[in-house]
Amino acid sequence: MNDTLERWGSKRAFILAMTGAAVGLGNIWRFPYIAGENGGAAFLLLYIAFVLLLGIPVMMAEILIGRGGRQSPVRSLATLARASQASPRWRYLGLFGALTVFCILSFYSVVSGWSIEFLVASINGTFEGQSPQAIGAGFEAFLANPWLLVFNHSLFLFITMTVVAAGVAKGLERLNNFLMPLLYLLLLVLAGYGASTDGFGPALGWLFLPSFEAITPTVVFHAMGHAFFTLAVGACALMAYGAYMPEEQSLTRAAFAVALLDICVALLAGIAIFSVVFAQGLDPTQGPGLMFVTLPIAFAELPFGSLWLSGFFLLLLLATWTSAINLAEPMVATLTGMGWRRSISTAAVAVSVWLLGVLAALSFSTLGEFRPLWGRNVFELLSSIPPDVFLPLGGLLIAIFAAWVLPESQAVESLGAGSRGYRLWRATLRYISIPLTLVVLVGGVLALG
């Protein structure tokens, strides 16, 4: 595929591709469990603040660079750096992004594999009439089975890389057009169900009434990482999509629309899941299993429970799929940008992500006690350090490049917000996003060690 000439078919297709990237496990699986571990409402408040103060401006910077360069992230950065008489080393930022998505996709694919397993189990009616204890124990037993985890991880990665091999513009545009609206509809139904349970009131209180003592430096650090993760910002992945963005589309409006939608989906998922958690007296701080345990328990007791549950896991998989495709794209684009054929690049990425993912999958059994850093095993490392540290670091560098390196003449017209809009955006990056990211990142990293 010629990566300088390809364009999204329409503005709508670009927005859909962006939301496809943003909306995924981050909103539906990761948000509830990280919020659960970090105090609920306090986390939600901080996460929304970070989306507004960092997420949106940095997302705009990323897309702007991609659209300005119209190539793979590495080459777009190199081209723009040259045009701005800055160091050609800025291109390494593209490689760092590829490393980040490499780590993220490996654990992402493993968890997506859990959704495949749960989709099949709910279609088979496995959860019907089971007690909460039995469902919890079933999940533990599933995690302890390395073969099953590796099999599902492999299957998910295979279907993802098949779409990637076909080329982003062709493969995704068609998919996104009908899958995404379906997803939002199904989530609304699930949140509506949550509203009919007696956990609804407690869930709302827990999600929306922050107690300010709950805001600790770690909570702030996790909220920032999650804001980047859920918006798909900080790894040059949106930069890779920006390269296909129509010339006449407003970047500002696209970024706000995607962020708003992303928050809404997380809120709907949060309401659905925490209503169940409180209605059933479950533990909101139980970690990555939260969604996988709570929903089968709730639906086991309902009429047509298996049907709703199958719908939910199907929806989750579709959302996850489009996100995983976005995660793969910067790596594939980097290799094709170096002159590799798309098919070969895709295969190389698939094999390496698969290998790292196997280590992540085995962290629930064989490799559970292999803890190379900070007392965390491979899964725990991959699911925390790249989102909390790599993404903010990448986002910081992207912001510095856009706000301090790129000359005004390069950026104004791309932004599509006039020169006053440009000034406001640049000032936000320079005086809010950059210092804020730096402070939270340094604080968080020091607290890790």
Residues binding ligand TRP (CB under 6 A): 21-22, 24-27, 101, 104, 229-230, 232, 235, 237, 323, 326-327, 391
DSSP states along 71-83: S-HHHHHHHHHHH
Residue 250: C-alpha distances to residues 133, 242, 254, 404, 439 (Å): 51, 12, 6, 22, 31
Tokens describing residue 332: 């594939």
* Least distance between ligand TRP and beta carbon 226 (Å): 9
Tokens describing residue 212: 């300010």
| 263 vs 279, beta carbon nearer ligand TRP | 263
Task: Using CB positions, name the residue nearest to ligand TRP.
Answer: 26
* Least distance between ligand TRP and beta carbon 228 (Å): 7
| 231 vs 279, beta carbon nearer ligand TRP | 231
* Least distance between ligand TRP and beta carbon 301 (Å): 29
* Least distance between ligand TRP and beta carbon 396 (Å): 14
Tokens 């962020």 correspond to 259
* Least distance between ligand TRP and beta carbon 288 (Å): 14
The 10 Å Cβ neighbour count of residue 84 is: 17
Tokens describing residue 416: 């599509």
Tokens describing residue 32: 């509830």
Residue 397: C-alpha distances to residues 113, 236, 331, 352, 436 (Å): 33, 11, 18, 26, 13
Q: Determine if residue 287 is left, alpha or beta; phi over 0 gives left, psi from -120 to 50 gives alpha, anything else beta.
A: left
* Least distance between ligand TRP and beta carbon 241 (Å): 9
| 26 vs 270, beta carbon nearer ligand TRP | 26
| 102 vs 127, beta carbon nearer ligand TRP | 102
* Least distance between ligand TRP and beta carbon 238 (Å): 7
| 80 vs 265, beta carbon nearer ligand TRP | 265
| 197 vs 383, beta carbon nearer ligand TRP | 383
| 311 vs 386, beta carbon nearer ligand TRP | 386
* Least distance between ligand TRP and beta carbon 179 (Å): 15
How far is C-alpha 276 from the chain's CA centre? 24
DSSP states along 340-356: --HHHHHHHHHHHHHHH
Tokens 């948000």 correspond to 31
If DSSP codes are grouped into helix, strand and coil, which group holds residue 376? strand
Residue 266: C-alpha distances to residues 51, 65, 259, 435, 444 (Å): 12, 28, 11, 27, 24
| 24 vs 40, beta carbon nearer ligand TRP | 24
